[in-house]
Structures are given as structure tokens and as C-alpha cells.
A = this chain, B = another copy of it.
């Protein structure tokens, strides 16, 4: 470790490109060329000498300076609604792996489904000069996102789309998957299906799944929609909702559809505490297929989302946008879900 006085009297501890140049007996330019792999512009001896000096001095270029100068940071900003949700954490892993493979770093922020924080984080990441953003939006900042689009900020939305489509979106085919599951449930002989979701609000996937549910109610299920807004922080209220759903439908065979994994968990806890048998007293199934789904009761029928792939694909699209600039028309990608049938839906 080099440590020496600078002109202004401060002690410096970091080796800079100037130090390397001095020691290697050439100019900073040549070192810079070396760092950027432009070996055509130097003799074999220079190249070797520089390599040796860098090794010897343990020199590492300051990426802040590089980014400032070149105005590309090789940094991707990722803003998630809730990173502790397994769907998100696996998605983030997919993003991380894909970025690492492409030589990018990842900055992550967790906004807890708060539109205010979402906006702040976007701006703040842009202040950090990220090259692009991957956003799991709250769907409540559409005007602001429109501004971002106008500014040509490279951005890809994951999981949650907004209208109109102003960015690339990578999501799953949840509408069709919901139809498929409910079709199967109807065929199994369940007479009444309830839709249980965290408050739908304007959140894309929840709207989608509800739309599919309503379509099936009109169609194959031939029932009026029965929709419950699950507050996962209030387990007693959820139990009450389950009781209500059961009473309301008397002798019919009843099935609970959950619009995401968090709701699923919440409902299973309620069912468990109410001492209900699955599927005799009530069937259950829905998003997501988390690792424990086969262990609970007779096994829980689920829709498995390819979260990792959603993450990886979003990076692929984002890098494309970053390279090509943002002019091409936004595209939406729907990755296939998988229906996983287990005992909880078998009468």
C-alpha cells in the first residue's frame, strides 16, 4: 500500500492511474488504454511492464471516476415492492446473475409498496447515474413514469405492467394460468369458487387474475363472483372471511382461489386454525408454488411462476435498451406459468 504526501498535505492511501504511469514510465493515457484492452496502441514491452506494475502496486481503477468520465456506470438499479417476498427474492437472483454475466452491478431498493418511496428511489438511482432501471412498480405513479419515458430513461417493468404500455414489461401469463386452474377446478366438481387476494387496487397482476376469475364466473362456473380483500396482517379477519365464504355457500363444494403466495399462506393459516379439512371442507389453490406447497395437507395445487427467468429476461431487455437507445416500441413478454396439481383440488 502506497502512502504519501500530496501537494495539499493530505495523506493518500490509494494507488491511482498517475502512480502507475509514473512507475511504469509512461503516460496515463497508455495506462488507460491498457485498462480498456486497447493493446493495439502499445508495444508488447509496454503491455508487459504495465501489467507487472499494476500487479505489483495492487492497482485497481476507481470506477466512480471511470463512470463520471465515460457517462456509463455499468450499474443497474432494481426497485422492488417487497424484496422479502420469495417471488421477488428469486427474481432478484435472476437479475443479479444475468447482470453479473454481462459485467453489470446491481443496486437494490425496497419500497414496501409505497408509491412515494418508489418515486424517490427512482430519482435517487438516477442521481447515482445507473445505466438503467428494473422496476416492480406500485402501479400508482403512472404520470411520473410517463415523464421517465419521455426522458428516455432505460427502464423495464417486471411482474406489474401499467397502461398504456410505455416500457418493456416482463411478466407471466397469469391471466391464462388463472383460467386454466379455474377450468380444472370446475371440472373437478367444485361448485363455488371464492377469489381471495390482498386488496386489488390498481395492481396489474391482481387485476388480471380477478378479471380471469370473473370471466370464469360468467362462463364455466356460472356463479356470482365472491371476492375477498385479504389483509394479511389481520389473521382474525381472514378467518372470519373464510367462515363467511363457507356459510354463504351451504352444501356446495367450495374452493378458495388465492391470487398470490402471500395470500395463500394467510389463508392456509386461517384454514388450519379453523380446523378445516382440505379438500373435504374446502379446496384451495392459486399462486404461488413455493417450496412447501407439497408438504401442506394433501399437497396444495398451485401456479408456479418462473420468477428467476422473469428476472433474467428483464435484464436482457434492459441491456438491449441501454445499448440501442430507447426508441423502439415497448414490448411485453409473458413467460409461461406452470399449473401444479395436488391433492388440495381433488374431490
Chain A residues near B (Cβ < 8 Å): 1, 60-65, 67-68, 73, 75, 82-84, 86, 88-90, 92-93, 96-97, 100, 105-110, 117, 123-129, 151, 265, 268-269, 272, 290-292, 294-297
CA distance A314 to B38 in the complex (A): 42
- Give this chain's copy count: 2
Distance in angstroms from A295 CB to nearest chain B CB is: 5
By a CB distance below 8 angstroms, the chain B residues around A89 are 83-84, 86, 88-89, 92
**Can you add 5 more A-B contacts, CB < 8 Å, to A63-B129, A92-B108, A105-B124?**
A83-B93, A89-B92, A96-B110, A268-B292, A295-B295
User: Is A128 a contact partner of B109 (Cβ separation < 8 A)?
Assistant: no
User: Is B84 a contact partner of A73 (Cβ separation < 8 A)?
Assistant: no
By a CB distance below 8 angstroms, the chain B residues around A90 are 84
By a CB distance below 8 angstroms, the chain B residues around A62 are 68, 127, 129
CA distance A91 to B268 in the complex (A): 25
CA distance A96 to B108 in the complex (A): 8
User: Is B92 a contact partner of A83 (Cβ separation < 8 A)?
Assistant: yes
By a CB distance below 8 angstroms, the chain B residues around A124 are 105
By a CB distance below 8 angstroms, the chain B residues around A97 are 110
